[in-house]
Amino acid sequence: MQSNTQVIRIEPSKGWVALQLQELWAYRELLYFLIWRDVMVRYKQTALGAAWAIIQPIFTMLVFSLFFGRLGKIPSDGIPYPIFTYAALVPWTFFSQGLSQASNSLVGSANLIKKVYFPRLCVPIAAVTSGFIDFALAFMVLLGMMLYYGILPGGKVIWLPVLLLLTVTTSLGVSLWLSALNVHFRDVRHIIPFLTQLWLFATPIAYPSSLLSEPWRTLYSLNPMVGVVEGFRWALLGAETAPGPMVMISFLAALVILVSGIFYFRRREKTFADIV
Amino acid sequence: MGDIAIRVEEIGKKYRIGRPEKYKTLRDTLASSFTAPFLRVGRLLRGEVTVDTGQDEQFWALKEVSFEVRQGEVIGVIGGNGAGKSTLLKILSRITEPTTGFAEIHGRVASLLEVGTGFHQELTGRENTYLNGAILGMNKKEIDRKFDEIVAFSEVEKFIDTPVKHYSSGMYLRLAFAVAAHLEPEILIVDEVLAVGDAGFQQKCLGKMGAVAKEGRTVLFVSHNMGAITQLCGRAVQLEKGRLKRTGSAGEVVAAYLSSVAGTELKSSWSDESFTPGGSDVRFRSARLLSPDEQPLSIINFNESLLVEIAYEIKVPIRNLSVTCLLYDSMNHLVFESMDTDMPEWNGCIREPDSYCATTKIPSLLLRPGRYHLSFAAFVEGVRVIAQLRRVLTFDVSGVGYTLQPKRDGIVSPVLDWKVCRFGENGRMV
């Protein structure tokens, strides 16, 4: 509880506003409740419930395995194709789901935004983070597949949290841009499906990035999801692709997206309640 | 005590309203729907906020509003629709930013612009209590501590683990208000939360608000309910078209406000021949409210009677025609209906074509303080409605000097004469 002397000053903000991330910290309980709400509500009144979390990546894996692996004979760095593509689909699904949930999150919470003050950043952050449950479920399936194919991860698996952080950074960064844009331009809603589809093929999910030669391969990882996918295969499946430089570049790109996203979001934030 | 709790200094808020677009051909529309995205992306990249096309009109929802609220003070904000009350609340709640000026708030503040904000239909009452509590600024420990109290106050114990989508609207409101009522801020900003729910619920809200005020907290309260303002608030500010019109004691400001709106709402007339609501057999000419000495009324106090006058013209002979006057309260409850043919001599009469003027008196000490609307209709009992005028007159009954408990149930609260006898032990009147 704050002290008596706390003074809030309300005045017009000019230009690029300070990020005030400490305020986000002050509101961490609300953030926690919003995440909890999104998790609770996600599969309410669905027949299959949380099974949806694994149905999507598994079916995509089956389709990819059939068309790209079997028929297309696409190489997979010496790893069985199904697990090769599924290991990429697990972080990818987290990313794309986060994107579609978060980009609509501000508009979906219009009622809240018009009636209560809180750092608006909470809304897309909650939408992205609540996808972790789905991620965990899909990840279990991945572990099961690794057992089946007899693939044991080596010590490289300790890098997994870093890769996860990269996934969240990317997902949040893009989501902040899209959610803030969506308040002003509902066009975003129409862009999302085909944006994620294009991005899916711009990321080495159905094919290995080793198809590309240097320096293009490294440049390719300006798409942060390239670093994520290559990193996951390297850390879990032991793909010998040495993605170090790729992950570094992806991280830089993701940070640029995230930081610019936060700034853009904060700048637009003051107009949300009037427009949404 | 005596320190400033809220300071509002030259606050202004500008909105832009896009002009309606001119008529365009389909071809233009199609063409622009292809080019517009590019133009808009261009504007966006230049950092312009608005989506609307260049020609925007500016509109000041608030302009140069300044006032101060001392700690422990309960202040009412009144004004007609579009006066800027909601905008002021939104600025003080930090939902939207002012365009000019600034405000300072000293202390922990909670604002309640709506009950049940963030309630999720799919979640249970228990889950929503936590969610809503967090949204209103309580932390989990606080909610844990008050949970039983909140549930008891809401009277929905049995259904607390049922999704709120299965709640009746009354249960939903009670739970939502119960959460809000257990906030413990130093400063409370409340919008018209009392405008929803039934009379019992409203009284419960009012009672809670009064209790909060008595605890020495600062309350800023917006309402259309003049009775509530005079009961709860010590001081009031009146906004008009975004500007501060007057400040002063709640009684004075309310009285002045009521008299300023009175002139336009206590009288209506229709001289236009083309105005024939519901057909041309009966035409309404005018309707107005008068004091008992037939002066146009400016303020109606609960202890004054008032005259209702309706003038109309009958064009063709009609048997059993009545002109009825319907009084609705602010919740749109029908308080009563009364007909100009209620007197027995009219029974079965044919009304001949002519001009008529019917007047009746609404007695004093009958209506409770609040806002009322009058509708009129001309009809033949059980056969047809000939003409209708909905909500043509609006008036407020002010509660200055009102002594009855506001918590009393009932649509009207007549002050009746009571004769109370007391008998001693021997059965004799004392």
DSSP B232-253: H-SEEEEEETTEEEEEEEHHHH
**Nearest chain B CA: its distance from A112 CA (Å):** 6
pLDDT score of A179 more than 80: yes
pLDDT of residue A259: 93
* Least confident range of A38-52, B44-58, B310-324: B44-58
User: Rg of chain B's alpha carbons, rounded to an integer?
Assistant: 27
If 0-12 CB within 10 Å is exposed, 13-18 middle and 19+ buried, where does residue B169 land?
A: exposed
B189: phi > 0 → left, psi -120 to 50 → alpha, else beta; which? beta
Contact list in A for residue B91 (CB cut-off 8 A) is 10
How close A113 gets to chain B, by Cα (Å)? 7
Tell me the average pLDDT of chain A.
86
Question: Which of the two residues, B350 and B25, has the higher pLDDT score?
Answer: B350
Query: Does A186 touch chain B if contact means CB atoms closer than 8 Å?
Result: no
Kindly tell me if the per-residue pLDDT of B53 is higher than 80: no
Q: Is A116 on the interface with B (CB under 8 A)?
A: yes
Q: Burial, B273: exposed, middle or buried (Cβ in 10 Å; 0-12, 13-18, 19+)?
A: exposed
Q: Which of A9, A111, A274 sits opposite B96 (nearest CB)?
A: A274
Asked if B140 reaches chain A (Cβ–Cβ under 8 Å), the answer is: yes
Find chain A residues with C-beta within 8 A of B49's C-beta: 184, 268, 271
User: What CA–CA distance (Å, rounded) separates A270 from A266?
Assistant: 8
Poorest-confidence range of A93-97, B84-88, B272-276? B272-276
CA distance B94 to chain A (A): 6
Please give the average per-residue pLDDT across B168-190, as a whole number.
85
Alpha-carbon gap: B390 to the closest alpha carbon of chain A (Å):
32
- Looking at residue A195, its pLDDT comes to 92
CA distance A249 to B156: 56
* DSSP assignment string, B293-311: TSPBPS-EETTS-EEEEEE
Q: Which residues pair with B300 in a beta bridge?
A: B397
In this prediction, residue A140 carries a pLDDT of 92
When CB atoms are compared, the residue of A40, A117, A271 closest to B127 is: A40
The pLDDT value given to residue B193: 63
Q: What is the pLDDT of residue B264?
A: 43
Put simply, the answer to whether B120 touches A41 (Cβ < 8 Å) is yes
Looking at residue B421, what is its pLDDT?
Answer: 87
CB contact under 8 A, B106 and A45: no
**Mean local confidence (pLDDT), B55-65:** 79
> pLDDT tier at A256 (50, 70, 90 boundaries)?
very high
Give A-chain residues touching B103 at CB under 8 angstroms: 9-11
Question: Is the reported ipTM for this assembly greater than 0.95?
Answer: no
- Residue A182 scores a pLDDT above 70: yes
CA distance A103 to A110: 13
For testing the chain A interface, which of B52, B71, B92, B131 should be mutated: the one with the most A CBs within 10 Å?
A: B131
CATH of domain B268-398: 2.70.50.60
Q: What is the pLDDT of residue B28?
A: 63
The answer to whether A227 touches A249, Cβ cutoff 8 Å, is: yes
Percent of chain A with pLDDT over 90: 35
Mean pLDDT, range B35-46, rounded to an integer = 70
How far apart (Å, rounded) are the C-alpha atoms in residues A44 and A35? Answer: 15
**For chain A, what are the domain ranges?**
21-265
Among A36, A115, A181, whose Cβ lies nearest the Cβ of B117?
A115
Residue of A4, A8, A45 to mutate, testing the B interface (most B Cβ within 10 Å of its Cβ) = A8
Residues in chain B closer than 8 A to A115 (CB atoms): 95, 113-114, 117
Write down the domain spans for chain B. 4-12+59-262, 20-54, 268-398
**B4-12+59-262 has which CATH code?**
3.40.50.300
Is A150 an interface residue toward B (CB < 8 Å)?
A: no
Q: What is the pTM of this model?
A: 0.71
pLDDT of residue B129: 92
CA pair distance A239, A204, nearest whole angstrom: 13
Cβ A10–B131 below 8 Å, yes or no? no
Mean pLDDT of chain B: 80
User: By mean pLDDT, which of A108-122, B111-125, B380-394 is the weakest?
Assistant: B380-394
Please write the tens of the pLDDT for every residue from B244-263: 988 998 888 887 787 676 54
